[in-house]
Structure 1
C-alpha cells in the first residue's frame, strides 16, 4: 500500500480556512506564476511558478484516492462527482446523501464506520498509490488513530487569526513530527513535508 499523507495550504498561524470556510488568500499561490496547470475539472487551471508547478505535479501524480469529510463534500457539492485532481474520493460521514445529483459518476464512496474504515477503503481504491487526507477533522482523527505517514504543508505567508485549524480535535501531544524531508520555497508559498513519528 502507498503512504497516507495529509495535505493543505495553511496560514502561518495554522488555519486552513476562515470560520466561514472561505480559504481567502491561502490559495493566492495557485495564481502566482506563469506555468499553466490543468486540472481534471476543465476549464479550471492554475498558474503556478515553475517551482510550485514541479512540486504540484509530482504530488498529484502520486495520489490514488482522497479522504474528505462531509463538510468539504457539502461545500463543494462533491465537486459534481469529478474532483479537480481526477481521482476517486472517500467521504467520511454520519449520513450519506440519498439524493445527490452526481452519484452516477461512481467517484464518491461514503463510509460511516469511522476514520479507520475510511482510510482502509481509500487504500483499497488507491492500491500502491498515495491516500491524501483533507486537513481539519479528517487529518486530526487520522493522526490520533496513528494512520498518517506524512504531513504535507503549503505554508502561506498570511495570518488568519481564527478559522479551521489544520488538525482539528486532536491532542497536541499526539502530534510528533520529524525534521522536514522537503522544503521548497516559492512565490507566496513554501512547500514542506514532515514524516510522522510513531
Structure 2
C-alpha cells in the first residue's frame, strides 16, 4: 500500500503563500535549473536542478491520487480538470459544486477522513499526496499522514498562510529528515512517528 504524504513549498518562516494566496518567489525553484521534468499535463513543465528533478520525478511517478480542499480547488479552477501530477483529485468540501458531475477526474468528499480513504481507494496502492495546508493539518491530527515533505525556500514572507496551523493533536513528532539539497529550495522529507 502506498503512503499518504503532504508536500508544500514553504518560506523559512513557515508560510506556503502570502496573505492574498500569492506564491511569488516561493515557486521560483520550479524554474531554477537546467533539467527539464515534464508534468503529466503538457501545459506545465519544470526546469530544476538534478536533485530537485529526482524528487519531482518520484512524486509524479508514484502518486495515484491527490487530496486538496475546496479553497485550493476553486483558486486553481480545478487545474482545468488535469492536475500536473496526472492523478485523480479528491476535493474535501462541505459545499459540493453544482457542476460536480462535469469534473470527470475529480471526486468530492465531505470530510478529511473520507477524502483520504477515497483517495487511497482511487490510488490503487500508489501514494496519496495532500496538497492543501488545512487538509494536511487535519489529516496529521487524525493520524492519517505517513510523511511530511517540505521544499524550503530561502525567503522570509513575514506573514501569510502557514503550512501547519491550528493543530489540535500537537505535538506531532517525526524521524530525522532526509535532506535533498536543491537550487532555490532544500527538500526535507520527514517520516511521521506513529
TM range (shorter): over 0.9
- The range that moved more, 166-175 or 12-21, is 166-175
What is the number of equivalent residue pairs in this alignment? 194
Shift of 1:172: 7.0
CA distance in 2 between counterparts of 1:156 and 1:35 reads: 19
Instruction: Check conservation: 1:16, 1:135, Cα contact below 8 A.
Output: no
1:189 alignment partner, one of 164, 185, 191 = 185
Shift of 1:36: 1.5
Q: 1:43 Cα deviation (Å)? A: 3.0
Preserved contact between residue 143 and residue 174 of structure 1 (Cα < 8 Å): no
| CA deviation vs aligned residue, 1:19-74 (integer Å, no higher than 9, x gap) | 11111111010010011221222232111112211221012211100000000000
**Partner residue in 2 for 1:11:** 11
* Cα offsets for 1:77-98 (capped at 9, x unmatched): 1011111111101000011111
Segments of 4+ moved more than 3 angstroms: none
In the TM superposition, 1:48-127 aligns within 5 A as 48-99=48-99, 103-112=101-110, 114-127=111-124
With over 3 angstroms needed to count, the CA separation of the structure-2 counterparts of 1:65 and 1:155, relative to structure 1, is same
What is the rounded CA distance, in whole Å, between the counterparts of 1:147 and 1:43 in structure 2? 32
The offset of 1:157, in angstroms, is 0.7
Of 162, 167, 187, the match for 1:165: 162
TM-score between both structures, scaled by the size of structure 2? 0.95
Q: CA deviation at 1:136?
A: 1.2
Could you tell me how far apart the structure 2 residues matched to 1:85 and 1:164 are?
23
SS of the counterpart of 2:170? helix
Contact 2:66–2:128 (CA under 8 A) maintained in structure 1: yes
